Amino acid sequence: MTIRNALISVYHKQGLDRIIDLLQSHNINILSTGGTQSYIESKGVKVQAVEGITGYPSILDGRVKTLHPAVFGGILARRTDDHLSQLGQHDIVPIDLVIVDLYPFAKTVAELDDHQQIIEKIDIGGISLIRAAAKNYESVLVISSQDQYTALEEILDQGAETDLQTRQSYARKAFLESTRQDLAIVNYLDGQIGDTEEFRAGFRPKTPLRYGENPHQEASYHGEMTEVFDQLHGKAISYNNLVDIDAAIRLIAELWDGQPASAILKHTNSCGVAVRDQLADAWKAALAGDPVSAFGGIFVVNKKVDVPTATAMNEIFFEVVIAPGYEEEALTILKKKKNRIILDLKTPHLSKYSFKQLLNGVIVQGYDQKVETKKDLTLATNQAASDQEIDDLLFANVCAKHLKSNTIALVKNGQLIGMGCGQTSRVDALKQAITKAKGFGFSLKGAVMASDAFFPFKDCVEIAAKAGISAVLQPGGSIRDQESIDCCNENGMSMYMTGTRHFKH
């Protein structure tokens, strides 16, 4: 099919100049309206105004411009004798190329809080043009997004000819654009009226990954990673990398505005977390928590990486480092390993909801965004904790929240010194945490303990007391809470209840 007539009406003008020049070089008649028409004319290119073929001006504050048989007839007509004859009877020009993109509705929702302005960004004419052209892909090429401009340039460079397979491919992309726009609108209106009747999700673009959790599994990522971070160095990010990166960012988000903090993760679980006055010291303390598991891990910090921190990190092998910036010399140090993935974190604030495919459906939940503070703690024992112990309890609670259940986190002086996670019993999780702490040379005397869920029996408190742990944090809620409280009192320990469970599966 040869392109002879093109309709252009776009929100994004950037990248359009060369397309306009190519259309002109092929003597393709250009129809346009509004701001796009003015833009094309400013380039000295002749344009036929849509109002000139419809006989109607743009009305209702621009809400109605192209919705007319003279436009849609030209797009929807099959290139059969019957349809072409009808176009001729009504002086309608067949349109072979439609270049239309949509108002950035999702971006508008993110940036504005004015309901009427948001509603005005619901595209009617544009979406109708796109869908009409996509439906008639046997005769029309539709360009529905700015990121397709370069590909259109190549088509025009090769003679303004298109085959059916190409037009069908772009029709599919057009319906995807339409679907994403509708999804963004419905999600916005759901938020306005507080109603969600069905699960909907749309993420773009698709990034193929080398493989999934294992080499025999296919995988891809759907979304804009660059909205969260920029990759400054290293090999392509893998499926497992992404899962760990997400876990690392969600953990560091809870420590974002506090002291310099560092965490080391393996298989989404933190094996080292620490806060200190200097970032390098926080890193060294996190590493000391489990230097064995740190090998090949994911490193994340909440401050710009300086030279002392980069130098210390560079001493061991790791897959990924995530930070909100790097000093120039620090970045040079970290780049010494060619495959090392270095990410510049733009924001620690990720999506508020998670979903997972199960059975023949999907489960959806809000992420666990509850962050306990001192005012959320209820003293349950005779003995109160010191200020340092309170700080450590809250820190341990953050660590436990981001470990797989059942979990116990042991903390001392702002450092995770032992953790047990993914265990089928809380006793096993505690024993694992104590074994790890002692194995790496930590004294548990004066350490604190946090549990992601309540203690069904007093056995964990008894084990903790024998190990030298001085303070305990747990949600509470067991019918045997009093037994654990009594055990703490008998051993001179403090216990605080939060009332909030933090299971993670």
How many other C-beta atoms can be found within 10 angstroms of the C-beta atom of residue 351?
Answer: 11
Q: Which of 267, 303, 404, 431 is catalytic?
A: 267
Q: Please choose, from the candidates 328, 277, 325, 273, the residue with its C-alpha nearest in 3D space to the C-alpha of residue 299.
A: 273
Contact partners, residue 368, CB within 8 Å, separation at least 6 = 401, 502, 504
Report d(CA 366, CA 448) in Å as an integer. 29
Q: How long is the chain?
A: 505
Give the 3-state secondary structure of residue 256: coil
> Catalytic site residue 135?
yes
CB 290 within 8 A of CB 308: no
Query: Which tokens hold the place of 482?
Result: 């009093």
How many other C-beta atoms can be found within 10 angstroms of the C-beta atom of residue 112?
Answer: 12
Report d(CA 406, CA 428) in Å as an integer. 9
Give the 3-state secondary structure of residue 389: helix
Query: Which tokens hold the place of 470?
Result: 């001085």
Q: Which of 26, 135, 304, 404 is catalytic?
A: 135
CB 471 within 8 A of CB 373: no
Would you tell me the crossing angle of helices 125-135 and 164-193 to the nearest 10 degrees?
Answer: 140
Contact partners, residue 492, CB within 8 Å, separation at least 6 = 383, 470
Query: Which tokens hold the place of 187?
Result: 């999600």
Instruction: Measure the CA dihedral 73/78/79/82, to 10°.
Output: -80
Report d(CA 355, CA 366) in Å as an integer. 9
Alpha-carbon distance values, 225 to 110, 203, 231, 402 (Å) = 17, 11, 9, 22
Q: Please choose, from the candidates 144, 139, 143, the residue with its C-alpha nearest in 3D space to the C-alpha of residue 152.
A: 143
Query: Which tokens hold the place of 224?
Result: 């804009």
Q: Please choose, from the candidates 70, 60, 178, the residue with its C-alpha nearest in 3D space to the C-alpha of residue 126.
A: 178
CB 261 within 8 A of CB 250: no
DSSP string, 186-197: HHHHHHHHT---
> Catalytic site residue 115?
no
Report d(CA 68, CA 59) in Å as an integer. 12
- Cα Rg of the chain, angstroms: 30
Report d(CA 35, CA 42) in Å as an integer. 10
Q: Is 151 exposed, middle or buried (0-12, 13-18, 19+ CB in 10 A)?
A: middle
Contact partners, residue 346, CB within 8 Å, separation at least 6 = 227, 228, 229, 230, 324
Active site residues: 135, 267
